[in-house]
Amino acid sequence: MAKKIYERAIVNWPEEDRPREKLQKHGPGHLSNAELLAILLRVGVKGKSAVDLSREILQKLGSLRALEQWEIEDLCKLHGLSLAKVAQIRAGIELGKRLMAEEKKTFGKMYSSQQVYEYLMPSMRDLKREVFKAIYLNARNEIVDESVIARGSLTSSAVYPREIMNLAYRSGAAAMVFAHNHPSGSTVASAEDRRVTRELVIAGETLQVSVVDHIIVGENGYFSFADEGIIESCKEEYRRFMAK
């Protein structure tokens, strides 16, 4: 069968091949990455349809994730991408991330490090700076609130356990999970990561708000202080001290 040849403008394509019409008829899962991006771009440039332009952009970037990782100023330097178009793309990405987080928050209970990682990964994996978060859980392990505690390199001086516990009390939390990302992509826990974790666990035990876990979010995985037995070890250290 002969291959179809269309004029470049999408408006001249058969309806069944136009991205918006395909999405309406079959759903977004039937569209390619380039077609989905073309819907966000809305229009192409001279001699190129929005789909052609999208294919070219994705080829230059190498991946969809680069649309978020690249600085806005650098994206605007790509042929066919204005500030308005970049803003549309970044807004679409952010909505997708918030949708994923909202679904986890509304319907999910945090029973494992894997669930915490899946909840945090969309918003934390590609951050260029370290961000330290606290997630507050009720007695049913449901998320009741979360907050950013610190930005930048994680140090004891940047994290104030008593203030964090006060936030937990205000949220009515029964337990907490902490998390921070490593911009390098590594999931190896540093000595400072371990020191901060110990301080938070002991503060939680003292104020009777249990620290369930501390997750390090990396490029393609995570490190769980609970899974490695470190959280329980810190709690046991506190219990031995109090028993003296």
Confidence of residue 150 (pLDDT cuts 50, 70, 90): confident
Kindly report, residue by residue over 167-199, the tens digit of the pLDDT. 888 878 889 999 999 999 999 999 999 999 999
Regarding whether 119 and 75 lie in a shared domain, the answer is: no
Three-state SS for 58? helix
What residues contact 244, with CB distance under 8 A and at least 6 apart? Answer: none
Regarding whether 127 and 87 lie in a shared domain, the answer is: no
Kindly report, residue by residue over 37-48, the tens digit of the pLDDT. 888 888 888 878
**Which residue's entry shows tokens 């708000």?**
209
Kindly report, residue by residue over 103-136, the tens digit of the pLDDT. 555 444 678 999 899 888 888 888 888 999 999 9
89 within a domain of the structure (yes/no): yes
Regarding whether 129 and 42 lie in a shared domain, the answer is: no
* CA proximity to 195, closest of 138, 154, 147, 167: 154
Q: Nearest 5 degrees, angle CA 186-CA 177-CA 170?
A: 140
Regarding whether 90 and 53 lie in a shared domain, the answer is: yes
Domain around 75:
10-97
Three-state SS for 146? strand
Please state the pTM of the whole predicted model.
Answer: 0.62
Q: Nearest 5 degrees, angle CA 172-CA 116-CA 92?
A: 100
Regarding whether 178 and 79 lie in a shared domain, the answer is: no
Total of domains in the chain: 2
